Amino acid sequence: MADIIEKPAVIDPPPNLRDYDAMFGTFKWQDAYDRIEWFEDGTLNAAASAVDRHAESSRKNKVAMYWEGESAEKYTFLELSSLSNRFANVLTDIGIERRDRVFIFLPRVPELYVSFLGILKTGAIAGTMFSAFGPEGLYDRLHDSGARYLITNSKLLERVQGIRDDLPDLERVILVDGTDHSGTANAADASDAANAANAADVAENDVIYSEAIASASRKFDVARMSPDDPAFMLYTSGTTGKPKGVVHRHLAIAQQHATTEWVLDLHEEDIYWCTADPGWVTGISYGMLGPWSCGSSIVVHDGRFDPNIWYSMIERYQVSVWYSAPTAFRMLMRAEGAHRGHDLASLRHICSVGEPLNSEIVYWGIRTFGLPIHDNFWQTETGGILIANYPSVPIKPGWMGKPIPGIKAAIVDEAGKEVSRGVEGNLALLPNFPSMMLTIWKNPAKYEEYFMGGWYLTGDRALQHEDGYFLFIGRADDVINTSGERVGPFEVESALIAHPAIVEAGVIGKPDPLRGEIIKAFVVLSDGYEPSEELEAEVRRFVKTRLAGHAYPREFEFVETLPKTRSGKIVRRMLRAQELGLPIGDVSTLE
Ligand code: AMP
């Protein structure tokens, strides 16, 4: 079959979907709280809502997590519940108190997931960090949060040693080592861990995870929390300044649960793979809490990105719902054909978040898996999905979709006034949804800066079509002003990657005396293409037919890679800094 398909402007939902409209009805968040069976006397605990609820039901022996790293393991809801109880007991024994900050600095090993749940169960606040962070990124987070305990392994501990003396609040390190991830160690494993820990130069009162957890009770009296009590925090980098500690409440699980059902279309029998690391909010809200609260089995892959490995994961675990990011999809597109030879028939629904989803990726999904990719929009600060192509709405490729029930999104001008449909402006939300951040840690002034006239401002530019769909234009700081016209990088990048030779593009505004800014495109070529003047000329001809004259990039540069955050976002401000010879900063500390 030819690899050419139609590129429809609208893709209708599949027939026989469950009745979303009836489900939504005249939805109000209060209805969701009333419906949530895990609320007791107005209190809850997100870890119990996500996992213990199932461990106490007929689902207790159902697999909650299929884990694959250097070996493959699986954990039932009952096992996850008992292990996290044990870990909560370990923390209690060393004196943890409610609201203490406990940070996790681990690769995606099972202990990361167990300890996250265990921390929540004690009423403390869990913080996560990418295992790729270096000392600077670690220091910013551990120092600002005043973290009391840090969970890491002896290899990563080396990056902490140089800053440990400058972290007066950090009392103890809990060291995860050894190969028995279930933590109910046999003696040999515990002694391996102890040896590794000794080699790592631990402090006297540090704790060896496997030893401590093996002797801890599997029963724990889970802390009952008020809906607005903090549960977890993550640092997010703005365009300037230090990363900010975004704090989320236990109640956020109400939105994570609802949107996992509505947007990710997760049913209890699904096998679900969220490729995001828990160092990024997606890996928490939709990598753990949302899907577990729905009783689904999750798949975790602790390893590097490789198209073959990824497709084998889907095949081996019969993944039915897959949640990933445009950057990963683009890398898979680049390895065009790598899916052949893998049976991917288990896939039923695919979603994307984190960056604008170029329509080309949606069409690639249809071509490759027979399924369109569903875009959705949210942020670290919002804790849960806000705008989405949920399964029952037709997809308009290139558009983010519509606000989910219970969310009021709008486009506002600089004075906070709603603009007409079709007019570009600031994407804003009424901040009355449960997964909205509680605060910015120790920085209420920063928190206040997000609001204007009752709206929460996302920092993104967008427009809303007459039909209610939202179109992403760009981060406010990335929008280009050329000859008096505003151009969003997404539009230009999407036109570029529609050319088969281009897999990825980053577009910036470059100061120009005549036009204010001119558009410069950095492009990464697909496998099998080499930079040449002919190719550049051809790409120029190609984009000229797809973009308005003023949006046409005047400068081109072929590059091997684009600077990205740990969660895979193109960092256009780095491209700009590089171009202008300004200090670039350390991209490895960005989430
Ligand atoms: P983070 O808090 O790191 O998840 O980043 C949130 C930002 O990522 C948003 O403010 C957007 O700039 C961008 N983003 C996330 N999802 C989308 C999407 N579906 N389309 C366009 N941009 C997105």
The full DSSP string for 240-288 is SSS-EEEEEETTHHHHHHHHHHHTS---TT-EEEE---TTSHHHHIIII
> Which of the listed residues 130, 236, 378, 389 should we mutate to test ligand 1's pocket, taking the one with most ligand atoms within 8 A of CB?
378
Q: What is the pLDDT of residue 239?
A: 55
Please tell me the residue having the least CA distance from ligand 1 atom 20: 356
pLDDT(203) > 90: no
Q: How many helices (H) and strands (E) does the chain have?
A: 20, 27
Q: What is the pLDDT of residue 584?
A: 64
How far, in Å, is the centroid of ligand 1 from the Cα of 514?
A: 32
Q: Which ligand 1 atom is at minimum distance from the Cα of 376?
A: 19
How far, in Å, is the centroid of ligand 1 from the Cα of 148?
A: 31
pLDDT tens digits, one per residue of 415-429: 999 999 999 999 999
Q: Which ligand 1 atom is at minimum distance from the Cα of 475?
A: 12
> Picking from 265-279, 392-406, 486-500, 574-588, which range would have the lowest pLDDT averaged per residue?
574-588
pLDDT tens digits, one per residue of 166-183: 999 999 999 998 766 666
How far, in Å, is the centroid of ligand 1 from the Cα of 282?
A: 11
pLDDT tens digits, one per residue of 97-139: 999 999 999 999 999 999 999 999 999 999 999 999 999 999 9
Q: What is the pLDDT of residue 2?
A: 38
Six token digits for residue 445: 């002034």
Please tell me the residue having the least CA distance from ligand 1 atom 7: 379
pLDDT tens digits, one per residue of 328-364: 999 999 888 999 999 999 999 999 999 999 999 999 9
How far, in Å, is the centroid of ligand 1 from the Cα of 351?
A: 14
Give the bridge partners for 323, in sequence order.
274, 351
How far, in Å, is the centroid of ligand 1 from the Cα of 407?
A: 17
Q: What is the pLDDT of residue 1?
A: 35
Q: How confident is the model at residue 3 (pLDDT cuts 50, 70, 90)?
A: very low
- Provide the strand spans (E) within 401-454: 402-403, 409-412, 425-429, 439-440, 451-452
Please tell me the residue having the least CA distance from ligand 1 atom 15: 354
How far, in Å, is the centroid of ligand 1 from the Cα of 123?
A: 29
State the DSSP code for 289. Answer: I
Please tell me the residue having the least CA distance from ligand 1 atom 12: 475
Q: What is the pLDDT of residue 323?
A: 98
Q: Which ligand 1 atom is at minimum distance from the Cα of 282?
A: 4
How far, in Å, is the centroid of ligand 1 from the Cα of 460?
A: 8
Q: Which residue's structure tokens are 């037919």?
A: 545
Q: Which ligand 1 atom is at minimum distance from the Cα of 380?
A: 2
pLDDT tens digits, one per residue of 468-503: 999 999 999 899 999 889 999 999 999 999 999 999
How far, in Å, is the centroid of ligand 1 from the Cα of 393?
A: 21
Q: What is the pLDDT of residue 590?
A: 56
Q: What is the mean pLDDT of residues 208-230?
A: 96
Q: What is the pLDDT of residue 200?
A: 59
> Which of the listed residues 323, 379, 566 should we mutate to test ligand 1's pocket, taking the one with most ligand atoms within 8 A of CB?
379
Please tell me the residue having the least CA distance from ligand 1 atom 23: 355
pLDDT(42) > 90: no
Domains of the chain in sequence order: 2-29+251-475 (3.40.50.12780), 73-235 (3.40.50.12780), 480-589 (3.30.300.30)
Q: How confident is the model at residue 586 (pLDDT cuts 50, 70, 90)?
A: low
Q: How confident is the model at residue 22 (pLDDT cuts 50, 70, 90)?
A: confident
How far, in Å, is the centroid of ligand 1 from the Cα of 46?
A: 24
How far, in Å, is the centroid of ligand 1 from the Cα of 198?
A: 42
For residue 534, count other CB atoms closer than 10 A to its CB: 8
Instruction: Identify the helix (H) or strand (E) that includes residue 126.
Output: strand 125-129
> Which of the listed residues 404, 472, 477, 479 should we mutate to test ligand 1's pocket, taking the one with most ligand atoms within 8 A of CB?
472
Q: Which ligand 1 atom is at minimum distance from the Cα of 281?
A: 4
Q: Which ligand 1 atom is at minimum distance from the Cα of 472?
A: 21
Give how far Cα 538 sits from Cα of 39, 531, 532, 541, Å. Answer: 61, 11, 10, 5
Q: Cα-flanking dihedrals φ and ψ of residue 171, to 5°?
A: -85, -45
Q: Is 337 left (phi over 0), alpha (psi -120 to 50) or beta?
A: left
Q: Of the candidates 211, 224, 275, 270, which has an alpha carbon nearest to the alpha carbon of residue 250?
A: 224
Ligand 1: which residues within 6 Å by Cβ? 236, 281, 353-357, 375-377, 379-380, 400, 458-460, 472, 475, 567, 591
pLDDT(196) > 70: no
Q: Cα-flanking dihedrals φ and ψ of residue 248, to 5°?
A: -115, 150
Q: What is the mean pLDDT of residues 298-304?
A: 96
Q: Strand pairing of 271-274 and 63-68? A: unpaired
For the chain, what is the largest distance between any 2 Cα atoms, rounded to a whole number of angstroms?
73
Please tell me the residue having the least CA distance from ligand 1 atom 9: 379
The per-residue DSSP string of 15-51 comes to SS---HHHHHTT--HHHHHHH-TT-BTTBB-HHIIII
For residue 133, count other CB atoms closer than 10 A to its CB: 23
Helix (H, G, I), strand (E, B) or coil at 136: helix
pLDDT tens digits, one per residue of 67-104: 999 999 999 999 999 999 999 999 999 999 999 999 99
Q: What is the pLDDT of residue 585?
A: 61
- Cβ atoms of 322 and 270 closer than 8 Å: no
How far, in Å, is the centroid of ligand 1 from the Cα of 458?
A: 9
Mean pLDDT, all residues of the chain: 92
pLDDT tens digits, one per residue of 515-574: 999 999 999 999 889 999 999 999 999 999 999 888 999 999 999 999 998 888 999 999
